[in-house]
């Protein structure tokens, strides 16, 4: 078995997808890049265990998630997403008040996401935006598919509570 | 209230793709989509993957080694990779050390004192009694999974104190594995830095030590740390 070829193939097959996942977790190009590098360095160490495992994709997500948790812990709490505040507008011809209200909502949701437990945040991202099955999310987060599902719904419930509390 | 929660859950399920049905406007869903659904530029994802590929290719295979004369244990051999310190040994010849590292990491170690100088400095300070903790990244690939678990547990035994094989076995959730713990410690590829010398037999006797100088070295290290009066 040649580990060198394996790792290159894993980068070619999944590197971009993982980058997009990490980019969503961090909202920052640099952090996503660093973390992707870290993910593949960790993957090299785990290759012996991964080999023969059909589910590389879920495993890579697991390693990427673990790497992102380390990075997120290191990052200061005050850090805010940078890409988060481009406008979204639900009305076609919004009044200035609507624009302000929606910007505020966006900011509050962005902040609430930062405060979610990491497992919940990762689970929600994986389900909704990386479109992984609950089985794969379970592998990625080292939990059962049921727990993976529970984490996604808890994340949504928690976000709703946070938003309500501030009103 | 309950009904409202249930309806909310259903709406969430449809939005997540867990249930089929029309999705209705929900401010939280809209906000999340606005925050997350935007993809980074395709170019930056491609560039990121390419960058990782190039830097791993040049670094991943490299192993660097050096040796240093450090009192009181003599000639110390060390090998490091991009991940961290992979092997340390004393009381062995350079040839044996290099061939073991090469076999374990499947790469020919290159002599490179620069890559090791910071580590050598810490080992020197430790053996002079001026350092109680190592601040080093470790490459744990030369260990089996079980050994890694045992050695990680061993790392939590602080300078100046000791544990027994049985205690480590308990700590890793395998209370009956004291003997296997002893064997795993005996094959510690990074002695001194991973303090296997702090683990003793349950009857308080020293147990074993596979490092150069054998039990005399273990005794010497424990005295240096003040764990034995």
Of the candidate ranges A44-53, B19-28, B87-96, B113-122, the one whose mean pLDDT is the lowest? A44-53
pLDDT at B158 over 70: yes
> Cα B155 to chain center, whole Å?
9
Of the candidate ranges A63-77, A125-139, B160-174, the one whose mean pLDDT is the lowest? A63-77
User: Rounded mean pLDDT of chain A?
Assistant: 80
Residues of A whose CB is below 8 A from B37: 129
B196 has catalytic annotation: yes
Stretch A43-65: mean pLDDT: 79
In Å, how far is A163's CA from the nearest CA of chain B?
Answer: 9
Structure-model confidence comparison of residues B189 and A70, the more confident one: B189
Residues of A whose CB is below 8 A from B82: 41
pLDDT at A53 over 80: no
Check if the beta carbon of residue A47 is closer than 8 Å to that of residue A6: yes
Going by C-alpha positions, the residue among A48, A55, A45 that lies closest to residue A14 is A55
Angle of helix A29-50 relative to helix B42-59, nearest 10 degrees? 50
In Å, how far is A41's CA from the nearest CA of chain B?
Answer: 7
pLDDT at A81 over 90: no
Catalytic pick among B150, B184, B196, B221: B196
Nearest Cβ partner of B16 from A3, A109, A128? A128
> Per-residue confidence at A47, pLDDT binned at 50, 70, 90?
confident
pLDDT at A74 over 70: no
Stretch A13-40: mean pLDDT: 88
Is B49 in CB contact (< 8 Å) with chain A? yes
Of the candidate ranges A48-52, A86-90, B113-117, B158-162, the one whose mean pLDDT is the lowest? A86-90
Pairing of strands B74-81, B84-90: antiparallel
Residue whose entry in the numeric block shows the structure tokens 């399920």: B13
> Per-residue confidence at A80, pLDDT binned at 50, 70, 90?
very low
Is B83 in CB contact (< 8 Å) with chain A? yes
For B212, the 3-state DSSP assignment is coil
pLDDT computed for residue B2 by the predictor: 74
pLDDT computed for residue A85 by the predictor: 42
Q: Which residues contact A25 (CB under 8 A, 6 or more apart)?
A: A32, A35, A68, A72, A121, A122, A125
Of the candidate ranges A110-114, B35-39, B141-145, B164-168, the one whose mean pLDDT is the lowest? B35-39
User: Rounded mean pLDDT of chain B?
Assistant: 87
Reported pTM: 0.54
pLDDT at B100 over 50: yes
Is B48 in CB contact (< 8 Å) with chain A? yes
- Rounded Cα–Cα distance for residues B155 and B140 (Å): 13
Of the candidate ranges A4-13, A107-116, B59-68, the one whose mean pLDDT is the lowest? A4-13
Stretch B207-213: mean pLDDT: 72
Interchain proximity A20–B40, CB inside 8 Å: yes
pLDDT at B46 over 90: no
Angle of helix B27-36 relative to helix A96-115, nearest 10 degrees? 70
> Per-residue confidence at A111, pLDDT binned at 50, 70, 90?
confident
Token readout for B96 is 């044996």
- Rounded Cα–Cα distance for residues A83 and A23 (Å): 10
Instruction: Give the count of alpha carbons within 13 A of A13, CB side only.
Output: 12
Percent of chain A's residues with pLDDT above 90: 33
Q: Is the dihedral of CA B191, B193, B197, B200 positive or negative?
A: negative
Interchain proximity A4–B57, CB inside 8 Å: yes
pLDDT computed for residue B59 by the predictor: 66
Check if the beta carbon of residue B211 is closer than 8 Å to that of residue B97: no
pLDDT at A156 over 90: yes
Nearest Cβ partner of A20 from B18, B25, B39? B39
Going by C-alpha positions, the residue among A103, A136, A34, A132 that lies closest to residue A75 is A34
pLDDT at A59 over 60: yes
Nearest Cβ partner of A153 from B12, B36, B61? B12
Is B61 in CB contact (< 8 Å) with chain A? yes
Stretch A36-60: mean pLDDT: 79
In Å, how far is A143's CA from the nearest CA of chain B?
Answer: 19
Could you say which residues from 145 to 184 on chain B have a Cβ atom under 8 Å away from some Cβ of chain A?
145
Is B43 in CB contact (< 8 Å) with chain A? no
Whether cis (ω within 30° of 0) applies to the bond prior to B72 is yes
> Cα A50 to chain center, whole Å?
22
pLDDT computed for residue A54 by the predictor: 65
Interchain proximity A19–B45, CB inside 8 Å: yes
pLDDT computed for residue A100 by the predictor: 72
Q: What is the DSSP letter of A51?
A: T
In Å, how far is B42's CA from the nearest CA of chain A?
Answer: 8
Check if the beta carbon of residue B34 is closer than 8 Å to that of residue B79: no
> Per-residue confidence at A93, pLDDT binned at 50, 70, 90?
low
Smallest CA–CA distance from A114 into chain B, residue: B35
pLDDT at B86 over 70: yes
The interface predicted TM-score of the complex, written ipTM, equals 0.78
pLDDT at A87 over 60: no
Residues of B whose CB is below 8 A from A137: none
Nearest Cβ partner of A109 from B32, B139, B141? B32
pLDDT computed for residue B88 by the predictor: 96
> Cα B156 to chain center, whole Å?
12
Structure-model confidence comparison of residues A44 and B182, the more confident one: B182
* Count of residues making up chain A: 167
Is B139 in CB contact (< 8 Å) with chain A? yes
Of the candidate ranges A8-17, B40-49, B72-81, the one whose mean pLDDT is the lowest? B40-49
Interchain proximity A84–B139, CB inside 8 Å: no
Residues of B whose CB is below 8 A from A49: 145
pLDDT at A82 over 60: no
Is B37 in CB contact (< 8 Å) with chain A? yes
Angle at CA A64, nearest 5°, toward A59 and A67? 130
Most confident of A13-17, A38-42, B30-34, B47-51: A13-17
Size of interface A-B (CB pairs under 8 A): 108
């Amino acid at each position: 078995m040649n580990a060198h070829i394996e790792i290159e193939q894993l980068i070619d097959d999944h590197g971009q997808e993982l980058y997009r996942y990490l980019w969503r977790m961090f909202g920052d190009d640099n952090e996503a890049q660093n973390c992707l590098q870290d993910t593949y360095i960790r993957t090299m160490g785990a290759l012996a265990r991964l080999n023969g495992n059909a589910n590389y994709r879920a495993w890579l997500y697991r390693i990427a998630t673990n790497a992102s948790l380390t990075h997120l812990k290191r990052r200061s709490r005050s850090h805010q997403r940078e890409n988060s505040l481009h406008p979204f507008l639900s009305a076609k011809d919004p009044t200035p008040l609507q624009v302000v209200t929606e910007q505020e909502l966006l900011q509050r949701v962005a902040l609430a996401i930062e405060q979610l437990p990491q497992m919940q945040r990762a689970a929600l991202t994986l389900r909704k935006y990386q479109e992984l099955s609950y089985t794969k999310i379970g592998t990625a987060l080292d939990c059962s598919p049921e727990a993976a599902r529970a984490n996604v719904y808890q994340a949504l419930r928690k976000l709703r509570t946070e938003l309500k509390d501030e009103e | 209230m309950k009904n409202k929660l249930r309806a909310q859950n259903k709406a969430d399920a449809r939005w997540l793709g867990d249930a089929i049905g029309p999705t209705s406007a929900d401010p939280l869903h809209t906000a999340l989509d606005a925050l997350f659904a935007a993809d980074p530029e395709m170019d930056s994802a491609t560039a990121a993957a390419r960058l990782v590929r190039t830097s791993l290719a040049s670094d991943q295979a490299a192993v660097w080694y050096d040796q240093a004369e450090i009192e009181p244990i003599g000639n110390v051999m060390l090998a490091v990779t991009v991940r961290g310190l992979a092997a340390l040994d004393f009381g062995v010849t350079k040839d044996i050390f290099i061939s073991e590292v090469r076999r374990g990491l499947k790469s020919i170690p290159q002599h490179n004192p620069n890559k090791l100088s910071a580590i050598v400095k810490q080992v020197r300070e430790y053996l002079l009694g001026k350092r109680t903790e190592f601040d080093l990244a470790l490459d744990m690939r030369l260990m089996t999974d079980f050994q890694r678990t045992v050695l990680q547990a061993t790392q939590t035994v602080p300078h100046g104190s000791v544990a027994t094989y049985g205690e480590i076995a308990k700590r890793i959730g395998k209370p009956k594995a004291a003997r296997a713990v002893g064997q795993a410690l005996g094959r510690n590829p990074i002695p001194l830095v991973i303090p296997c010398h702090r683990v003793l037999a349950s009857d308080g006797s020293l147990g074993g030590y596979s490092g150069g100088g054998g039990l005399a070295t273990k005794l010497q290290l424990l005295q240096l740390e003040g764990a034995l009066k």
